[in-house]
Amino acid sequence: MLKLEDIIIATGDFTLAADLTVAPGSSVAVIGPSGAGKSTLLEAIAGFRDLRRGHILWQGQDLTDLPPGKRPVAMLFQDGNLFPHLTATQNVGLGLRPNGRLTPSEHEQVQSALSRVGLADKGARKPAELSGGQQSRVALARVLVQQRACLLLDEPFAALGPALKAEMLDLVAELVSETGTTLLMVSHEPEDARRIAAQALLVADGVAHAPMATAELLDNPPPALRDYLG
């Protein structure tokens, strides 16, 4: 279970409070108005933002003071962050070793992650030699190879067309259900939330609320969400 225990995240004059739990193995869409703090919430869970108050726990272990690399959490950012001068294989390898020097068994793990995202034969290509969808797959393979219990997606597929985005979301759903990974995914499109996440949590007015059934939240949105959904 991921537990945000009475936390307050503060950056500049922006603060976000949360007191909620996410069940292990569940998929939760993070929705809410622009600037409400969805990315901030994910960044705090991943360890890129300090808390002013409270604790973040995973299966009872307090993560609050652990650096990002020591948390059971992998995060995929909006732009994927691939290195242009490295091949797909090397980019994925960085998920395992920041210095890129892999053992033979780590090489196998990288190859298997590339296969799992459908890029078994594209490992030698650099990002510029791959399509947008294929680049997203490389970025996904890089977080997969880390085998973390919790995966955070901050709209990584926003730049893809609707069909490709749907394909990537289905792939993510398949992978997290295969591995029992807990997923939190920022989503600007209600349809994406419905597609991949049975639960959704609303971030609005300085609060990240407890997850609830996605359909229930979207079908009867509270005022802050109603204004945003239009």
Ligand X SMILES: Nc1ncnc2c1ncn2[C@@H]1O[C@H](COP(=O)(O)OP(=O)(O)OP(=O)(O)O)[C@@H](O)[C@H]1O
Residues 6 or more apart from 145 whose CB is under 8 A from it? 92, 93, 95, 96, 109, 110, 113
Q: Does 40 bind ligand X (CB under 6 A)?
A: yes
Q: Does 34 bind ligand X (CB under 6 A)?
A: yes
Residues 6 or more apart from 177 whose CB is under 8 A from it? none
- For the CB of residue 24, give the shortest distance to ligand X in the complex, in Å: 24
CA atoms within 13 A on the CB side of 205: 7
Judged by DSSP in three states, 75 sits in strand
Identity of the residue, 17 or 36, whose beta carbon is nearer to ligand X in the bound complex: 36
Using CB under 6 A, which of 11, 64, 146, 147 touches ligand X? 11
Identity of the residue, 13 or 178, whose beta carbon is nearer to ligand X in the bound complex: 13
Identity of the residue, 37 or 93, whose beta carbon is nearer to ligand X in the bound complex: 37
Residue 173: exposure state from Cβ atoms within 10 A (0-12, 13-18, ≥19): middle
Using CB under 6 A, which of 39, 91, 109, 199 touches ligand X? 39
Can you tell me the distance from the alpha carbon of 58 to that of 148, in angstroms, rounded to the nearest whole number? 12
- For the CB of residue 52, give the shortest distance to ligand X in the complex, in Å: 14
Question: At 94, phi and psi to the nearest 5?
Answer: -65, -20
Using CB under 6 A, which of 37, 80, 156, 211 touches ligand X? 37
- For the CB of residue 48, give the shortest distance to ligand X in the complex, in Å: 10
Can you tell me the distance from the alpha carbon of 94 to that of 114, in angstroms, rounded to the nearest whole number? 13
- For the CB of residue 37, give the shortest distance to ligand X in the complex, in Å: 4
Least Cα distance to 133 among 124, 122, 143 occurs for 122
Q: Does 15 bind ligand X (CB under 6 A)?
A: no
Identity of the residue, 12 or 98, whose beta carbon is nearer to ligand X in the bound complex: 12
- For the CB of residue 107, give the shortest distance to ligand X in the complex, in Å: 36
Using CB under 6 A, which of 36, 74, 76, 175 touches ligand X? 36
State the residue number with the nearest CB to ligand X. Answer: 12
Q: Does 35 bind ligand X (CB under 6 A)?
A: yes
The H-assigned helical ranges of the chain are 38-46, 88-93, 104-116, 132-144, 162-179, 190-196, 214-219, 223-229
Using CB under 6 A, which of 14, 59, 206, 219 touches ligand X? 14
- For the CB of residue 165, give the shortest distance to ligand X in the complex, in Å: 16
Contacts with ligand X by CB under 6 A lie at 11-12, 14, 32, 34-40
